[in-house]
A = this chain, B = another copy of it.
Amino acid sequence: MSTLIKNISSLVTIHSCSSPFKAGKMMRDIGEIKDGALLFGEEIEWLGTTQAANEKLTSGSISPDKIIDARGKTIIPGFVDSHTHIVFAGSRANEFARRLRGATYREIAESGGGIQTTVKATREASIEELVENGRMLALSALKHGTTAIEIKSGYGLSIESEMKMLRAIKILKQELPIHVSATFMGAHDFPPEYKDNHQKYVDLICNEMLPAVAAEGLAEYCDAFVDQGYYTIAQAEKIMETACNFGMKIKMHCDELACVGAAELAGKLHAASADHLLYISDEGIQALKESGTVATLLPGTAYFIRLPYAPARKLIDAGAIVALATDCNPGSCFTENMQLILSLAVINMQMTAEEALTAATLNGAAALGLSDSMGSLEAGKKANFLILDVPTYEDLFYHFGINHVEHVFVNGRKVV
C-alpha cells in the first residue's frame, strides 16, 4: 500500500546526506522543497517536486494506491523528543502556584515539596497508574507532533520502584503507536534513605540496580544528574563505566545549576548526549564537539523555573550537534509540546527557525541513535512525518502558541 502526497506547499526534508546528524552551520540546511511530493509505504519511497511526481505518474514509473492533496500545507519530519520524564505519579501544581506567590525552593523543599513529592507518589503508585499517566502524556505529545520519545526512570530511587518505572516504560513501548527509548536514571537524585551516605547509594546503583536493569533488558541508556549538590564527576564516572560494561549507552544531565565540568566528562566518555548545559564551559563545548556527543538543550525548563538559557548560539557556532527536547517532567518543566520548545528556542536562545527544526528532528534522533531510520525525510527512512495547517515552515514559528499539527503519520500510518 503506497500513498502519494502532492502539492505540498513546503516540504521540509532535513535531508541528512552522508551524516546521520547536522552540526554547526549545516543545521541551517533543511532541504526545503516548494510544491513538493512524497511517496511512502511504511517507509519513504521517493520524494521530489509535484512536477516530477506528475511525470512519474504519467510514465507509470509509480502507481500509488492513494493520492492526497496537501495544497497550503507544510510537511516536516515528526519530532523526536529525546529527553523526558513522563512516567511519574502525583501532581505538583499547588507547589508551582505557591512558588508563583513567592515561596522559595528551600521553603517548598522544607515543607516536603520538590522532587521528593514525586518520589513518594511514584513509589506508592501501581504500575498501571504509571502507565496510564505516561500514556496520556505521550498521546498528547503525539497530537503535538512527537513521533519518537525517550522516557527516563528516576522517581523511584529504590531498586523495586526503579524497576517498576522501567517496566511501565516497557509497556508503553509495546502499546504506543510511536517509538519509545528507555533510560535508566537511578542517579536522578539521592533517595531520603541515603541522604547522608551518597556513596552507598552509588554502590547500590552499580552493584544491584544496573545488573537488575540489564538482566531484564529494560534500558538502552543510563543517565545521571551531574551537578552541584547532586552527583559528582567521580560518582558519575563510576556509574557510567558500570553501565557501559552492561552494554548500555550514556546520557548525562550536565551543568544545569552550575559549571562542574560535567560536559567535559560526557565528551570524555563519548556519551550519546549531554543535556541541559546552562552553565557549560568553553572546554565543555569543545569536548562535546570533538566527541560528537549531542548537546541536548531544554529551553522549557529554563523558562519554567526562570533560569538563564543554555548558550545555543555558542554551541552551534562552535560546530556542536545541538538537539532540542521538552524535558517534560512534573517539577521543573511540565509540557509535552515540542512546538512550544521550538518557539522558546528561536525567541529566547536566538536559534534560527531552520536550526530549531533540525535540532528537534534529525539531531534529536541522533541523540537516541535513531538517525539512520528517523529524523529526516529520505528514501528508506521510516515514514514518520507531520502535516501542518500552515503554508510554510516559517509559519510554525511565526504563528505561535497554537497546535499546528493537522495529521501525524508514523511508519506510514495516519495516527492523528
Contact = CB atoms under 8 A, between A and B. Distances in A.
Interface in A261-311: 300, 303-304, 306
B97 A352 contact: yes
Nearest to A300: B401
A392 B394 CA distance: 35
Given A100-B346, A100-B353, A403-B403, A93 B340 contact: no
B353 A97 contact: yes
Interface in A361-415: 390-392, 394-395, 397-403
Interface stretch (A11-19, A195-203, A249-257, A329-337): A329-337
Contacts of A304: 347, 400
A92 interface: yes
A347 B402 contact: no
B93 A395 contact: yes
B91 A335 contact: no
A397 B335 contact: no
A94 B391 CA distance: 11
A309 B208 CA distance: 51
A106 interface: no
B93 A140 contact: no
A350 B101 CA distance: 9
Interface residues of A, number: 39
Nearest to A395: B93
A88 to B, nearest CB: 13
B100 A397 contact: yes
A96 interface: yes
A98 to B, nearest CB: 9
Contacts of A391: 91
B401 A97 contact: no
Contacts of A353: 97, 100-101
Given A100-B352, A352-B97, A353-B100, A92 B398 contact: yes
Given A96-B397, A97-B398, 8 more contacts: A91-B398, A92-B398, A93-B394, A97-B397, A100-B352, A101-B353, A337-B401, A339-B401
26 contacts: A91-B395, A92-B398, A93-B394, A93-B397, A93-B398, A93-B399, A94-B394, A96-B398, A97-B352, A97-B353, A97-B397, A97-B398, A100-B350, A100-B352, A101-B352, A101-B353, A144-B402, A303-B347, A304-B347, A304-B400, A306-B347, A335-B400, A335-B401, A336-B401, A337-B402, A403-B403
